[in-house]
Amino acid sequence: MHAPAQELVNVAAWLPLRASEQPDKPAIVWRSNRDAAGRAVYSQFTFRELNEACDRHAHGLVRVGISRGTRTILMVRPSAEFFVLTFALYKIGAVPVLIDPGMGRRNMVQCLRDVNAEAFIGIPLAHALRVLNPGAFRKVRVVITAGWRWFWRGHRLRDLVGDPDSTSSHSGHIQGPAGPASQSPDRQITKSPNLMPFPMAPTSPDDPAAIIFTTGSTGPPKGVLYRHGMFDAQVRILRERFNIGPDEIDLPTFPLFALFDPALGMTAVIPEMDFTRPALVDPVKIIEAIRDNGVTHMFGSPALLDRVGRYGEAHDVALPTLRRVISAGAPVPPAALRRFKKLLSNSAQIYTPYGATEALPIAVIGSDEILGETAALTAQGLGTCVGMPVDRVEVRIIRISDEPIARWSDDLILPLGDVGEIAVRGTVVTREYITSEAATRLAKIRDDDGGVWHRMGDLGRFDENSRLWFYGRKAHRVITEHGALFTEPVEAIFNQHPKVLRSALVGVGARPRQTPVVCIEIDKAALQKSDYENPATLGEELFAIGAKHEFTKRIDTFLVHPGFPVDIRHNSKIFREKLAVWAAKRLKVK
């Protein structure tokens, strides 16, 4: 028998517990077909079936040489297969390496080169990347293809988990709202009769659990080492902070967040979307999945919420089953919150947790508090409130420095209300980057008791109510001869112009005499024809807005950009470094 989850510090230990507590509850639901009328038909795995599929895959992976501690690149599309393989690797005690393919081939190859993985599980396109870049995968000794194997050697996943034709009795399909279930499931992950449970690796809190890469919004993506204790703490904090119950159904539009669902006991409805382009999601398909499955919980990036919210507002959509929506990756504009909130019941809230790949969650605030109080202060240039720190996490504001800080001292802490760098410590905070010792030295501060403080690379302050306010990335501050300017306060001023979709403060020239430039992405739906004929008018209006505030009154350079470069993961973090280069070229500044 499996030991209870609380006796094992392994995130996969929650899965057999859920399978025992709620064996017939759907664990994963996905659209498998459409009927003649175009309505969605869904298939599913129950928690029992998911646990058994994970055991089956774990047995197969061990047979070909994947064992405890094996770094294993996992490159399969967000799907039931992704869940099964990830939790199978956790059960083994192997270390899955999870990466966003949308970061681009060059970045991806470099990241995977630095990991020194020993195993590679991927779809055919992923293996083509591996074969064409042999130097990046020289230590890989176990090769497994999920799908058709082309011209390379190695194992096929279907061969490791048994003959699919012998398991056609799989019951993992459901009668969807549209009618009968599809008869064409992913047969590589079917249920296996008479399967022996896999003996889960007895991992400790400090054992490596996964390597996850940052978005690379302020430099090359970095590999973050997650440990089993961190995953376990995240599950417990999320469940307690959001009061997640056993009847919950989630629509996770970010694959890595979806992995929390089996541990939390939530049904995960895999959305029909391109996960690398959430800003271009089809709102109709998102709304369809919520309504068809009675979704109660949803994660969406700010860009996704804005797109779905605009559609929902225009078409008078109501989503009464949603109890809560979580949005992260970048600050959510108050206008986007108001718009999406109109789709929900009065009791539902949109939460905007603050954190990063290296430390998540750190603080949480809800839409009621934002729209009722803090948004008005944000509009005055006082930063973006990200709420109260969560339990079991310490947060401090320390003096701003671009240099490494080797040892922690309370002398680093700034007085209440001062703006400085946000530093955090706790069970959900990672200790190092696996791919860069230099990045570790810059981001981590060692404590005398053996603990580690993580420098978020973000600027902020505490208010008198112990709420944390975000002021932007430290690397994005603009240092002029009149002092430092921070992105969040400055951009909040100019974002209030009705024709501005969003703005981005960048510095042109060398510190400490940078010229502040505000790049503008216009809201094309709000423009008049005259704006195209006389763009100078917009600049004059923006200058007049800035002149009302002491810290923006000297900003007099505005450049309209056709579409900001943003991160692949959330389509919300603005690549201000790229905008700064673009602005310098436009202004002919070297």
Cα-trace Rg, the chain: 25
120, 138 contact by CB (below 8 A): no
Question: What mean pLDDT do residues 410-419 have?
Answer: 98
Which residue shows structure tokens 């979704």? 295
Q: What is the pLDDT of residue 527?
A: 64
The answer as to whether 125 is a domain residue is: yes
Q: How confident is the model at residue 217 (pLDDT cuts 50, 70, 90)?
A: low
The answer as to whether 271 is a domain residue is: no
The answer as to whether 171 is a domain residue is: yes
The answer as to whether 214 is a domain residue is: no
Contacts for 195 with CB less than 8 Å, ≥ 6 apart? 52, 55, 56, 59
Number of compact structural domains in the chain: 2
Cβ neighbours of 556 (radius 10 Å):
15
Using the predicted structure, report yes or no on whether residue 469 has a pLDDT greater than 70: yes
The answer as to whether 265 is a domain residue is: no
Question: What mean pLDDT do residues 182-211 have?
Answer: 72
Using the predicted structure, report yes or no on whether residue 171 has a pLDDT greater than 70: no
The C-alpha angle with vertex 72 and arms to 361 and 87, in degrees rounded to 5, equals 55
Q: What is the pLDDT of residue 213?
A: 93
Give the residue from 176, 202, 228 where a domain finishes.
Answer: 202
Of 541, 105, 526, 244, give the one whose Cα is nearest residue 518. Answer: 541
Measuring CA to CA, how many Å separate 410 from each of 389, 416, 423, 462, 576? 19, 14, 12, 16, 32
Q: What is the pLDDT of residue 139?
A: 96
The answer as to whether 86 is a domain residue is: yes
202, 8 contact by CB (below 8 A): yes
190, 164 contact by CB (below 8 A): yes
The answer as to whether 579 is a domain residue is: yes
CA 539 to chain centre: 35
Of 290, 322, 300, 297, give the one whose Cα is nearest residue 244. Answer: 297
Element (H, E) at 61: helix 47-63
User: CATH number of the domain that 130 lies in?
Assistant: 3.40.50.980
Of 364, 544, 389, 567, give the one whose Cα is nearest residue 466. Answer: 389
Q: What is the distance between the alpha carbons of residues 238 and 234, in angstroms, rounded to a whole number?
A: 6
Q: How confident is the model at residue 524 (pLDDT cuts 50, 70, 90)?
A: confident
Question: What mean pLDDT do residues 314-318 have?
Answer: 98
- AA identity, residue 304: L
Q: What is the pLDDT of residue 183?
A: 32
Contacts by residues 136-145 (CB-CB < 8 Å, ≥ 24 positions apart) = 136/109, 136/110, 136/112, 137/73, 137/112, 137/113, 140/73, 141/65, 142/64, 142/65, 142/66, 142/70, 142/72, 142/118, 143/119, 144/61, 144/64, 144/119, 144/120
518, 494 contact by CB (below 8 A): yes
Using the predicted structure, report yes or no on whether residue 174 has a pLDDT greater than 70: no
Name the token pair of 119: 């195993």
Give the residue from 169, 202, 235 where a domain finishes.
Answer: 202
Using the predicted structure, report yes or no on whether residue 11 has a pLDDT greater than 50: yes
30, 267 contact by CB (below 8 A): no
Q: Summarize pLDDT for 14-44 with one digit per residue, the tens.
A: 999 999 999 999 999 999 999 999 999 999 9
Question: With the CA atoms of 80, 85, 91 and 97 taken in that order, what torsion angle do they form, in degrees rounded to the nearest 10?
Answer: -120
Max CA separation in the chain (angstroms) = 74
| Burial state string for 539-553 with b = 16 or more CB within 10 A and e = fewer than 16 | bebbbebbeeeebbe
Q: What is the pLDDT of residue 531?
A: 54
Name the token pair of 40: 């969605």
Contacts for 193 with CB less than 8 Å, ≥ 6 apart? 167, 169
Bigger pLDDT: 521 or 523? 521
The answer as to whether 112 is a domain residue is: yes
Using the predicted structure, report yes or no on whether residue 362 has a pLDDT greater than 70: yes
457, 494 contact by CB (below 8 A): no
Using the predicted structure, report yes or no on whether residue 357 has a pLDDT greater than 90: yes
User: CATH number of the domain that 557 lies in?
Assistant: 3.30.300.30
What letter does residue 11 receive in the DSSP assignment? G
Tell me, letter by letter, the H, E, C secondary structure of 82-109. Answer: HHHHHHHHHHHCCEEEECCHHHCHHHHH
Find the domain containing 120 and state its range: 45-202
Q: What is the distance between the alpha carbons of residues 277 and 230, in angstroms, rounded to a whole number?
A: 28
Name the token pair of 500: 């501005």
What's the residue count for the chain? 590
In this prediction, what percent of the chain has a pLDDT beyond 90? 83
Average model confidence (pLDDT) across the chain: 91
469, 489 contact by CB (below 8 A): no
Q: Summarize pLDDT for 284-302 with one digit per residue, the tens.
A: 999 999 999 999 999 999 9
Q: How confident is the model at residue 218 (pLDDT cuts 50, 70, 90)?
A: low
Give the residue from 167, 186, 202 where a domain finishes.
Answer: 202
Does the global pTM surpass 0.85?
yes
The residues with which 42 forms a beta bridge, in sequence order, are 31
Question: What mean pLDDT do residues 122-146 have?
Answer: 96
